[in-house]
Structure 1
Amino acid sequence: MLDTSQTSEEEDNNIRGRAKALSLDSVEDALLNEQTGGVLTLSLSEALIIGLLKQGVRRYFAIFGHGSTDLADVLRIYHEVGVVEVINCRNEVEMAHAATAYAWVYGETPAVVTSIGPGGLQAMAGSLAAASNGVGVYHIYGDETTHGEGYNMQQVPKPEQGLFGKITALMGQSYTLHSPGSIRECLRRGTACVHHPYKAGPFYVMLPIDTQPQRTQINVATLPSRASIPKLAPADPTALSEALEFVRTYKKIMIKAGGGTRAHHEAVRALADTIGAPVVLSPGSTGVMADADTLNMHVGGSKGSISGNYAMEHADAVIVIGSRAVCQADCSGIGYPNAQAVMNINGDMDDLTHYANTVCLPGDISAVISVLLRALDENPGAELRQEWIKACAQKKQEWVAFKETRNFASPIQDQVWNKPVLTQPAAIHAVSSFANQVGAIKFFDAGDVQANGFQIVEDDIPGQTFTESGASFMGFAGSALLSGAYVDNPKYGIAFTGDGSFMMNPQILIDAVEHNVRGMIALFDNRRMAAITGLQHAQYGEEFKTNDSVSVDYVAMAGSVSGVKAIHGGFSRDELDAALASAFAHEGLSLLHIPVYSGLDPMAGMGAYGSWNVGKWVNDVQEQYLNATI
């Protein structure tokens, strides 16, 4: 017979006593004392919670199941005392996105809790967004038992040990707590991954069902704290000499600011100003340069812009900073046809050496730039590039004028809506401008909304926009709103999403209300996957199976959830502006349904200016890559 007795009152009181002490003090001050010497005997579940607490992990996004009942019970007590916050969710992909956004926006480390099986696979799928954007998050999955007594429910039905640990290890770094005594090593590896200074990512903890309640001993003093690595810069004078010669030689240098520059925008701006080099952004680095800065060429890459791609195509040398050279950033490797050399500033060795003919400056971006600027002193070579800057500035004005025509385009007759509706660029610009006006942060979903969005946004600092361009994960934006739950002084978030992306993860309608989130979903509805429709037309002249004929009343759908304010966004700029004000005034979650045009009218999009190694273009792109100079 199963033992149905509940946890002993004595053990419950012991856990609660430790939790109360931890609510008042740090882990060391609360639990280190002369009587125990800092060595505690407790369950593996509680040891993991305390260990993560020492690294600053206080927030758990959770979907509890049979694989995590013991961990859940300890979290219950710690949550009741107020040491941690546990946010129950309704979809594992959603909560993985919420955790990623929480770490990304607020700079705090959360944990995701679920079990192996469908839940673990979904959470792991969602973690691709964290992995692709360099965001550290702990993922804790209740794993199969260790005694091999027979198949566990939801484990991979194959006679092999530790399969979920192997699966997660393919995505990133993973550790199975098969032995409770290995908790220290697990947490050491965890913080090295989650808090990596240059390439953080998700760390997966496999927590077997039967080891969770097992008693183990921990030494509080030696539990790993949050990893803190000193900032590094090159000490080799040869590399610095090569960098100085590089800057003082080439007349058409441009800077490519990748996603890694978000936390180093002041250093990037100082370098650009000092050496006189235009800066081309990536989809994830808007705001690194102020929008109106004459050196800001805006986004460049496969989608790109008139000015950004002009600078890439005509540069004779490139300073690549914090970029992993994804296709949207460098046109699948052929974005710099005239570049003869590269200077690469990056902490990651693989990304640092991606291009040929490269001067490598490894380390912390701000630290490296600081060393470089001191060495340049009064001879930064800026006079070499005056004509180059003028040519780039002219292209920037051309792009600004082009954007103006798209951002304020008149409504166009649409065959789905049977009336004139806003174009997607015009609608996105209206919502983006409103967000900047009220100080809201913008979350962008994958697809056409995202592709037009990073060409349209007018950010002046990093952190105004979070666009999940790393994994291009449909459903991220709405889910990301949950990141603001129970945060002191939360940032108002607006999720920019298409109808297709929204339906990937509509659970936010319920979870936002449950957890008192205030934010807005701007749903741009063209009843199709417009980004792929456009790609099909561009490559083959025909669309295929990227639209649907089903009419959905999203206002009625969202309005059926108590606490959600659902509003129709109207068919004109004035109507949309009024709807935005009404939605923002709501104290909870609002959803704004915005019908947008989809068709072949060129006003419907911002255009594409680069190359991409997909479909019928692959032979041409790969031939150019073979002959590339860098």
Structure 2
Amino acid sequence: MNIQDTRARAQEISKAGSFENALSAKTIAGKVDLTLSEGVVLGLLRQDVRKFLVIFGHGSTDIGNILRIYKEEGAVEIFQCRNEVAMAHAATALSWIYGEIPAVVTSIGPGALQAFAGSLAAASNGIGVYYIFGDETTHGEGINMQQLPGQRQNQFGRLTEIMGNSYTLHTPEALRDAMRHGNNAVYRSNFASPFFLCLPINTQPKVIKEFRLDSLPKRLPKRVVAPADDNCFIDAIALLKKHGKVVIKAGGGTRHQPDLLKSFAESINAPVALSPGSVGVLPDRHPLNMHVGGSKGTISGNYAMENAELVIVMGARAVCQSDCSGTGYLNAKAVININGDIESAAHYNNTVMLCGDIGVIIVRLLEVFKNHRRPEEIEQQAEGWVSSCCKRKSMWQELKSVRCSEHMLYDVAWKQHVLTQPSAIKTADRFTKKINGIRIFDAGDVQANGFQIIEVDHPDQSITESGSSYMGFAVSSLLSNAIADEPRYMVAFTGDGSFMMNPQILVDAVVHGVKAMIIIFDNRRMAAISSLQTDQYNKDFATNDGTQIDYVAMANAFTGVRGFFGGFTFQALEAALEEAHNHKGLSVVHVPVYWGDDPLRDMGAYGRWNVGPWCEDVERLYTEQTI
């Protein structure tokens, strides 16, 4: 490899502003000799991937050296991290919240496995991220240190292809094909996925002779697709004319179409039940917003789902927390499923499938619907149906008002009165709204109470990682604040258990200049599982301990991070939040919260879940479903 040629290309790309500009201006040669490592970097640059989150090891020294040169010349941005799981979460957040697709680079073995584990969040939420892993050598000269043990070829590639698209660059000349596969995965218009590029240690420095740079695929443009004929739309309208008790189930796929969803719901006069990941697609106070429905759910969301006769699924998968393990629609007779994924669209029986882009399909449905009138009795039925749903919405709002009032209860672990978690979350939510921050939730009791409590009017005001509910995602995601071109103030709502899964953000935030807040709601346990155990078996087990952790001191141990004690009163919490927000860096607010037998401890659960001793009843209900 001619290192001078590599540096010269990096310089010209930096001067031109992009790889594409340099190629068009012919300031870099169109046909070159280059290493596979440099080819991968150029392939990513052509797809507008210029930010790399890295933890290097012996399996990535060669591509690491190329990235060093490109970084020195200003052609790429490099963000060194401390933990591969946390790094994967930050990359997912950068793609999800800010629309910037990055690449995660690790070594072979444990580092790659950790990043692979973290990629579950991207895979479960349909988020595109590139993963570049060091891999075993290709000559079979012997076992590589840290490779997956075994006698089969392509062991790590076999593993990664389970989670998403995967490609092993055993042959350097296959680079173009590898980048095409990656392009199709991370830039897919509906439910994108992570892409795993496995780079054998010995092929990274191999030289590809006379490689045409313009053969590298450009970033895949967003393609909007929809059914070509009107028959399926007419079939859908026929169901709307037949049923007045309709519910729209809005999944994560509706996050990009909140205005069209609102127009559609109002046009057909149908209540909307949200998924945990779609909170905000309809304004909180909108009369047709029945809030979340599912295993955790709400009074109104679950009522609308369970009593509707026609279900309109929009951009939702049949996840247990979204449809009560297949028992969410007890009275449904038919389904209209609007989904970009055919398998998801075909999940239920008696379904009219409208496969494609949700926005285009809604527009077409509204156009067709204008030419049809529902029978008067169906319109009247719809009015009565909406009225009954609104009564449940009022019941839910009353219960939420009670649970989120300023309660303080005596806690055995804290040995004094502390705030209840719902009331503390409500206080933090109100503050986050005031500062126009974005709320980030990941797992457990804080997440479950959070999506029931927060009041947001647009989906970009909160992110709930409900696809995999990965503990540690919320705090790790804050690194994206320092990486994004146009950062927003982020607030991670997390429990003490989730925070301790990935506290590396305390280092990364200082190194890269994060300006965000972590709120730790501390009940000294994994409260979601403690509550599940007591609900099922009347006893919690192995989900708590007596360890006392001073999170304020822990935060203050990192120069540049500030810790604040949220106190035992609401006035103290509000003051701590204000002070934390004023800090020009990462702040941590530690809030003791109650856990115990008092129902004020949480917002309650209103659905079903195929877990533990409930399985028999849930599965019996499922077998009775016709859809």
Contact 1:304 1:609 in 2 (8 A): yes
- The residue that corresponds to 1:60 in the other structure is 52
SS of 2:277's equivalent in the other structure is coil
Contact 1:445 1:498 in 2 (8 A): no
> Matched residues in 2 for 1:245 and 1:160: separation?
55
In the alignment, is residue 454 of structure 1 matched against residue 451 of structure 2?
Answer: yes
> Matched residues in 2 for 1:509 and 1:112: separation?
20
Contact 1:570 1:594 in 2 (8 A): yes
Per the normalisation by structure 1, the TM-score is: 0.97
> Matched residues in 2 for 1:177 and 1:476: separation?
30
- The residue that corresponds to 2:330 in the other structure is 337
In the alignment, is residue 377 of structure 1 matched against residue 377 of structure 2?
Answer: no
> Matched residues in 2 for 1:139 and 1:34: separation?
30
- Deviation of 1:378 (Å): 5.0
Which of residues 479, 492, 502 is equivalent to 1:495? 492
In the alignment, is residue 607 of structure 1 matched against residue 604 of structure 2?
Answer: yes
CA shift in 2, pair 1:481/1:419, >3 Å: same
Count of matched residue pairs: 621
- Deviation of 1:542 (Å): 1.1
CA shift in 2, pair 1:21/1:599, >3 Å: same
In the alignment, is residue 194 of structure 1 matched against residue 186 of structure 2?
Answer: yes
- The residue that corresponds to 1:136 in the other structure is 128
Between the aligned residues of both structures, percent identity stands at 54
- Deviation of 1:144 (Å): 1.1
Which of residues 410, 414, 417 is equivalent to 2:411? 414
Q: What pairs up with 1:305-320 in 2 under 5 angstroms? A: 305-320=298-313
- The residue that corresponds to 1:471 in the other structure is 468
> Matched residues in 2 for 1:621 and 1:608: separation?
15
- Deviation of 1:33 (Å): 6.5
SS of 1:205's equivalent in the other structure is strand
> Matched residues in 1 for 2:458 and 2:92: separation?
20
> Matched residues in 2 for 1:360 and 1:25: separation?
44
- The residue that corresponds to 1:40 in the other structure is 32
Q: Which moved more, 1:20-29 or 1:42-51?
A: 20-29
- The residue that corresponds to 1:404 in the other structure is 401
Contact 2:124 2:467 in 1 (8 A): yes
- Deviation of 1:238 (Å): 2.1
- The residue that corresponds to 1:575 in the other structure is 572
Contact 1:18 1:31 in 2 (8 A): no
Contact 1:247 1:380 in 2 (8 A): no
Instruction: List per-residue Cα deviations over 1:487-524 (Å, max 9, x = no partner).
Output: 33311111111111111000000110010101111001
Question: Match for 1:124: what amino acid?
Answer: F
Which of residues 11, 19, 28 is equivalent to 1:20? 11
Q: Which moved more, 1:485-494 or 1:549-558?
A: 485-494
Contact 1:493 1:520 in 2 (8 A): yes
Q: What pairs up with 1:90-239 in 2 under 5 angstroms? A: 90-216=82-208, 217-239=210-232
> Matched residues in 2 for 1:199 and 1:313: separation?
27
Contact 2:517 2:580 in 1 (8 A): yes
SS of 1:332's equivalent in the other structure is coil
- Deviation of 1:409 (Å): 3.5
CA shift in 2, pair 1:171/1:225, >3 Å: same
In the alignment, is residue 263 of structure 1 matched against residue 256 of structure 2?
Answer: yes
SS of 1:552's equivalent in the other structure is coil
Question: Match for 1:310: what amino acid?
Answer: Y
Structure 1 outlier segments of 4+, above 6 Å: 33-37
- The residue that corresponds to 2:243 in the other structure is 250
Question: Match for 1:338: what amino acid?
Answer: N
Gaps of 5+ in 1: 1-7
Q: Which moved more, 1:435-444 or 1:482-491?
A: 482-491
Per the normalisation by structure 2, the TM-score is: 0.97
Gaps of 5+ in 2: none
> Matched residues in 2 for 1:178 and 1:410: separation?
61
Instruction: List per-residue Cα deviations over 1:361-420 (Å, max 9, x = no partner).
Output: 111000111111001115463834111111111111111111111111411011111111
CA shift in 2, pair 1:369/1:542, >3 Å: same
> Matched residues in 1 for 2:79 and 2:94: separation?
12
- Deviation of 1:28 (Å): 3.3
> Matched residues in 2 for 1:380 and 1:429: separation?
43
> Matched residues in 2 for 1:396 and 1:379: separation?
30
> Matched residues in 2 for 1:148 and 1:561: separation?
45
Question: Match for 2:456: what amino acid?
Answer: D
Contact 1:38 1:219 in 2 (8 A): yes
Question: Match for 1:160: what amino acid?
Answer: R
> Matched residues in 1 for 2:358 and 2:385: separation?
25
Contact 1:116 1:164 in 2 (8 A): no
- Deviation of 1:34 (Å): 6.8
- Deviation of 1:168 (Å): 0.4
Contact 1:264 1:365 in 2 (8 A): yes
- Deviation of 1:553 (Å): 0.9
